[in-house]
Structure 1
Amino acid sequence: MSPYSRLMTVPHLVTEIPGPRSRRLHDERGQAVSAGFGVTLPVFIADATESTLIDVDGNELIDLASGIAVTSVGAANPRVRERVAAQVERFTHTCFMVTEYEGFVRVAQWLNDHTPGIHEKRTGLFTTGAEAVENAVKIARAHTGRAGVLVVDEAYHGRSLLTMAMTAKEHPYKTSFGPFPADVARVPNANPLRGRPVADVLAAIEQTIREHGADAFSALVVEPIQGEGGFVVPAPGFLPGLREIAYRYGIVLVIDEIQSGLGRTGQLFASEHEGVVADLILTAKALGGGLPLSAVTGRAEIMDAVHPGGLGGTYAGNPLACEAALGVFEVLEDPGLLPRVARIEGAIRGRLEPLLAEFDVVAEIRGRGAMMAVEFADPGTLAPRSDLAQGVSAACHAAGVLTLTCGTYGNVIRLLPPLVIDEAVLAAGLDILVDAIRSTVAGGPDSTIADATEEDAA
């Protein structure tokens, strides 16, 4: 039976989760793979549709994670598969810094044309989100002649040494890996649930700049919606305020759209909701449709400040990944896609927002488009309740729905369904999520089933 024939009856479970074959493979993994790699749900995937994942035991799971926002057009999108398959028949690699190929140029052209702003742009392609962040810093330093980097609290930017220094969350990302590069300063975030008024936050950021010196910072790097930090949508006025501060002090504004970009929030880029145009904008995750690809796109005079040979990488803009990206772009150009993302947000809010009145530990439902979250915290104090988030996620996993947690304290459930998810499948997944919240909150801390830790892959 084709997996698609069961689409309206998912999740379809034939064993417990994880099943016996997944458990055996997980045991083999323990003997072969470094213990440093965590896992959210120890099931081994054998096949996929655009809405679901099918494991080696035949269980079909509803995918509300998209590989941490990577498979935004689905884990088995036909346009991506066809383009990659055709490229495999031609060649797999030459290294763009050795001999060129057209796909690299076509991806750069699309990003130049579709990222916010009408200024002349250039793009560099790389492999991972962390590479994009590091190269953005390199480019900003080359352009400004300055060393310092400003980042906001609760930020996540990657796992390399520089991006770990830029990341706020200590565990598991930074524990035991220091010392980290210097010249990184952290400023407050405008978190509507927990933060200060926007004017106070912006004033504190300017004070930090003045304390270090008006010419100290090359780049101000910010996520328009925070990822690992808890899917925090900044208070209105924060991003425009950062844009003004960066302009006033000659700092390159770098908007990290690695998780929030490429249709995830109902606009091509989350920064469009605020009308903010970056000097450099970063994409990855969804860009390659499951293949490793990242990009820095920005003002031509900034991007061209780097000397020839200063940017690159053996696998940067690999031809297979470029073809996958061109397939992703075809999906994104479908005029029905972004309205579909708006319907995803409406469905999620419609099922989850009533819980705000039902349970006082449901502190906030937030997000945009298909990048939504529910935060658990004690009323009044807002003390984080990671036990509830992890208990809810574990209950979803047992019932065949893949969810992730996030937040500095692990007390947030984040929802990242594929943008192309079947609406009936999404509804079934949300029913299970709501049941999991009700049963976990009613049961209290002792109802927690597991203590899984998600890992951002930028």
Structure 2
Amino acid sequence: MKAATKKYINLKTPLPGPKSQELIKRKEENVPRGPFNTSPAFIKQAEGAMITDIDGNTLIDLAGAIGSLNAGHCPPNVVKAIQEQVEKYIHPCFHVMMYEPYIELAEKLNEITPGNHAKKTFFLNSGAEAVENAVKIARKYTGRRAIVSFDRGYHGRTLLTMSLTSKVKPYKNGFGPFATDTYKLRHPYYYRKPQGMMDEELDELYLNQINDFFLGEVPPEDIAAFIMEPIQGEGGFIEPSKNFVQKVREICREHGILFIADEVQTGFGRIGKMFASEHFDIDPDLITMSKSIAAGMPISAVTGRAEVMDAPNPGEIGGTYGGSPLGCVAALEVIKSLQEDGLVERANHIGDMITERFQSLQETYGNIGDVRGVGAMCAMEIVKGQNTMEPDKELTGKIVAECNRRGVILLGAGLYGNVIRTLSPLVITDDQLTEALDVIEEVIHDLT
């Protein structure tokens, strides 16, 4: 095929360039090998959906810091808010000296999260911390011990969140023993359902298994909460049906079990609504948030029903750096941008562009087994053949690595490691996205 014209990608050196190579040597000498890196380059500066590395190469970002940059790299209003805040005070610790941005952001999240009930919000540093604290709150409120998650779900890398996470490698292998009183249920994966089965039948099968679970694993009166990603992220961008999610929500209500929506990756406009829970018409008891809440500033949140959030006594939840003033002012500006600049709606347009291209590739290349997505949360599943559907992790890794070498920052995902996902900033232009998709198509053509 004809090579695409590059208007935005400008590779002055092979990736990694000489300056990045030197830093890689220093990294290998001083940083453990555990932290994984997608791109082989080191960043110098970034704006919107574009990154310039230290060797002067310009790249298009379709990873968005694993979904942390829905508002883009360095949004001017966010940068200004941080600069103004850092000149006033950096971090007095909310537990010592309170500050207004914390209250303003809590008010805003109480307003925009799903549900018309009274809510309260508090802040932490990361998505995993938000999940841990949501679990603590649920246990305190219900007086129950068990927490139920779903297969292929991802909730973090701490001991408890790793226990709730489904994928063994690389997240859990060799890190046990794991937290007790955590259990897992089946989650529909329609692309890989038994041959001849309808989606509705798979839903019914898994919903009926919950009754057996209550009999064979843990009784409902011992379960504090179910936790679910409305759309699975690390698991491969797996979207359950509205029927499945709503029925799980009903089961929780029936048995006095709290429903926690893990919106760390799906929140803040990614799927064409502010929160994915809105897509399924549910109102969770607790919502965990992080990633795109503050354009890359380290802050996370738990928002929930006021009576549930008030269950812990003073001092029982919190953390020294939770709710950083810098993160709070950044988040307020991000939310303003998402609402006023049309970025939430733009997610649907971005998703249409990506899905249309991925479906075209699926028709051309036999290695693309499934194309799926909601809003700008899009993915394609790489297989050894569309008939066999056998996952092709090796080819997936090659495609991701080669795209990164050609100037498009891309991520993999999936239980089998065979899913290519896009988490581009929502400020990416049509031309930039088209050029990035052209590179992806070139790479798939060259490798397959």
- Does TM-score exceed 0.5, indicating one fold? yes
Does 2:387 match 1:380?
A: yes
- 1:123 is matched with which residue: 121, 124, 127? 121
Does 2:58 match 1:60?
A: yes
SS in 1 for 2:147: strand
Residue 279 (structure 2) aligns with = 273
- 2:143 is matched with which residue: 145, 158, 177? 145
Structure-to-structure mapping, 1:249-260, within 5 angstroms: 249-260=255-266
Residue 212 (structure 2) aligns with = 207
- 1:399 is matched with which residue: 406, 413, 430? 406
1:277-296, CA deviations, whole angstroms, 9 ceiling, x for partnerless residues?
A: 10101110001211101001
Identity of aligned residues (%): 42
Residue 372 (structure 2) aligns with = 366
Structure 1 stretches of 4+ moved >6 Å: none
- 1:104 is matched with which residue: 99, 102, 105? 102
SS in 1 for 2:435: helix
- Name the CA distance, whole Å, in 1 between partners of 2:140 and 2:213: 22
SS in 1 for 2:190: coil
Unaligned residue ranges in structure 1 (runs of 5+):
1-7, 442-458
Structure-to-structure mapping, 1:21-420, within 5 angstroms: 21-195=19-193, 197-211=202-216, 212-334=218-340, 336-377=342-383, 378-420=385-427
Answer yes or no: is the 8 Å Cα contact 1:51–1:63 preserved in 2: yes
1:158-207, CA deviations, whole angstroms, 9 ceiling, x for partnerless residues?
A: 00000010011111111221111110111000111124610111111232
SS in 1 for 2:287: strand
- Name the CA distance, whole Å, in 2 between partners of 1:308 and 1:236: 38
CA displacement at 1:215 relative to structure 2: 0.6
CA displacement at 1:236 relative to structure 2: 3.6
Count, aligned residues: 434
What is the letter of the counterpart of residue 282 of structure 2? V
SS in 2 for 1:436: helix
Answer yes or no: is the 8 Å Cα contact 1:206–1:245 preserved in 2: no
Answer yes or no: is the 8 Å Cα contact 1:191–1:235 preserved in 2: no
What is the letter of the counterpart of residue 291 of structure 1? M
SS in 2 for 1:135: helix
Answer yes or no: is the 8 Å Cα contact 1:396–1:436 preserved in 2: yes
SS in 1 for 2:321: coil
- The farther-off stretch of 279-288 and 370-379 is 370-379
Residue 198 (structure 2) aligns with = none
1:360-419, CA deviations, whole angstroms, 9 ceiling, x for partnerless residues?
A: 321111111111101012333322111121111122112100000011111000100001
- Name the CA distance, whole Å, in 1 between partners of 2:280 and 2:35: 36
Taking only aligned residues, the RMSD between alpha carbons, in angstroms, comes to 1.2
- The farther-off stretch of 247-256 and 430-439 is 430-439
SS in 2 for 1:46: strand
What is the letter of the counterpart of residue 318 of structure 1? S
What is the letter of the counterpart of residue 370 of structure 1? A
Unaligned residue ranges in structure 2 (runs of 5+):
1-5, 194-200
CA displacement at 1:335 relative to structure 2: 5.2
Answer yes or no: is the 8 Å Cα contact 1:262–1:269 preserved in 2: yes
Residue 196 (structure 2) aligns with = none
Q: What is the TM-score of this pair, normalised by structure 1?
A: 0.93
- Name the CA distance, whole Å, in 1 between partners of 2:338 and 2:170: 34
SS in 1 for 2:220: coil
What is the letter of the counterpart of residue 384 of structure 1? P
Does 2:439 match 1:432?
A: yes
- Name the CA distance, whole Å, in 1 between partners of 2:185 and 2:447: 35
